[in-house]
Amino acid sequence: MRPRLEARIGVSGAMVYVTPVLAVVLTMACGSVLFAALGHNPAAVLYAFFVQPISSAYGLAELTIKATPLVLCAIGLSFGFRANIWNIGAEGQLTLGAIAGGGLALWAGDDASVWFLPAMIIASLLGGAAWAAIPAYLKTRFNANEILTSLMLTYVAILLLSYLVHGPWKDPDGYSFPQSRMFADSVLLPLLTMGTRLHLGAPIALLLALAAWWVMARMFVGFQIKVVGLTPAAAGLAGFSVRRLTWITLLTGGALSGLAGLFEVAGPIGQLLPSISPGYGFTAIIVAFLGRLHPLGILLAGLLIALSYLGGETVQIELGLPLAVSGVFQGMLLFFLLASDVLVRYRIRWGRSVIVQEAG
């Protein structure tokens, strides 16, 4: 009996929630096999990867810190993905946000007023949005594929940051290390608890996730985004402008990614470095899908993926495995999620289907 797929009439409500859990379980199972093959005790690796990092209050705070930029980028991306706008340049927009906000912090100098922080936030929003405006313009004006343009701009943004910290913004007292001066304490994000690095960015990300939920569920613009993504022709009939929604989703995504960049440099990092993100902008793509492009789902997914970063660091320290383990876990997770998604839209039938007698 060969299994075959049969389209469901609607999507399965239960499967929408079951499949992410299934994907996580399958990833762990596959990860175990992989580590056993590499000669490690899978139980030890899984413990070090998934449990050890969050068995202390400090660990939980670190988890939240790592989840913050992921959630911010993923929410921005999810708007676009819903509308079939494939911005995959969040990493570049994050970098530009850090450059814009961080540049302002450097300009303000050591005795900056605390009022610079809000200005830096605005600058980072604008910086990220401006970087995303380029693919938006090229798509709406020239019909250029935003996947490729936004990605190419990511390389450009990282090179731009590299130029700045190697050149004009290099710390003169930094023993020629490629890094900027430290930001003034007054423009760093305030810490929330003593003894951890948890900063104001986390609650802001939470509030923005709730706001994003309101926009998608309640606002007409959210409805328009969904219609454009599902059925562009119906959006045209209803008079929703694809051009306008392309701009809205790309600018929102860029701005939120830019904010994420600022939260990194004005939070845990405190200065500009050649590398300010371990690929948060790319990983946010996984977060967005794992969270089902739903702001509240993204919150949970952000925490899980943040754990994969912490877990990667822990297994590196404890077991000497490379940091790339994080990427392997993240990639597998997305594979399994996409694979199990088939259960949402299709039913698996084994062999011949049963004939149901119906009237008419």
Site for other proteins in 304-333 (CB under 8 A): 321-332
| Shortest distance, position 313 Cβ to other proteins, whole Å | 14
Distance of CA 177 to the CA centre of its chain: 29
Angle between helices 242-264 and 116-142 (to 10 degrees): 150
DSSP-derived pairing of the beta strands 346-350 and 3-7 = antiparallel
Contact region with other proteins (CB under 8 A), list: 64-72, 117-125, 296-304, 349-357 = 349-357
Beta carbons within 8 Å of 238's beta carbon, 6+ residues apart: 227
CB of 319 to other proteins, least distance (A): 13
Site residue total, other proteins (CB under 8 A): 78
Amino acid at 121: I
One residue of 41, 55, 193, 353 binding other proteins per CB under 8 A: 353
303 belongs to the binding site for other proteins (CB under 8 A)? no
CA-angle at 101, arms to 251 and 255, nearest 5° = 15
Is 206 a binder of other proteins (CB under 8 A)?
Answer: no
Q: Is residue 285 a contact point for other proteins (CB under 8 A)?
A: yes
Q: Is 166 in the site for other proteins (CB under 8 A)?
A: yes
58 vs 318 by CB, closer to other proteins: 318
Q: Does 230 bind other proteins (CB under 8 A)?
A: yes
Question: Is the CB of 170 or the CB of 197 nearer to other proteins?
Answer: 170
Distance of closest approach, residue 228 Cβ to other proteins, in angstroms = 10
Handedness of CA 222, 228, 229, 234 (dihedral sign): positive
**C-beta closer to other proteins: residue 121 or 314:** 314
CB of 232 to other proteins, least distance (A): 9
Amino acid at 323: L
The answer to whether residue 338 forms part of the interface with other proteins (CB under 8 A) is: yes
Say if residues 282 and 91 touch (Cβ distance below 8 Å). yes
Residue 286 binds other proteins (CB under 8 A): yes
Question: Looking at beta carbons only, is 122 or 328 nearer to other proteins?
Answer: 328
- Could you give the 3-state DSSP secondary structure of residue 348? strand
CA 322-328-332 angle, 5° bins: 160
Between the alpha carbon of residue 1 and those of residues 119, 249, 348, 352, 355, the distances in Å are: 65, 46, 12, 8, 17
160 interacts with other proteins by CB under 8 A: yes
Q: Is 218 in the site for other proteins (CB under 8 A)?
A: yes
Confirm or reject binding of residue 138 to other proteins (CB under 8 A).
Answer: yes
Closest to other proteins by CB, 104 or 321: 321
> 1, 194, 195, 352: which one contacts other proteins (CB under 8 A)?
352
**DSSP characters for 2-64?**
-EEEEE-SS--HHHHHHHHHHHHHHHHHHHHHHHHHTTS-HHHHHIIIIIGGGSSHHHHHHHH
Of the candidates 232, 223, 272, the residue with the CA atom closest to the CA atom of residue 95 = 272
Q: Does 350 bind other proteins (CB under 8 A)?
A: no
Q: Does 33 bind other proteins (CB under 8 A)?
A: no
Alpha carbon distance 225, 241 (integer Å): 10
Nearer CB in complex with other proteins: 52/308? 308
Closest contact distance (angstroms) between CB of 117 and other proteins is 29
Cβ nearer to other proteins, comparing 119 with 221: 221
**Residues in 49-88 at the binding interface with other proteins, rule: CB under 8 A:** 86, 88
Nearest in space to 289 (alpha carbons), one of 334, 339, 327: 334
Q: What are phi and psi of 293, to 5 degrees?
A: 60, 20
- 147 sits near other proteins (criterion: CB under 8 A): yes
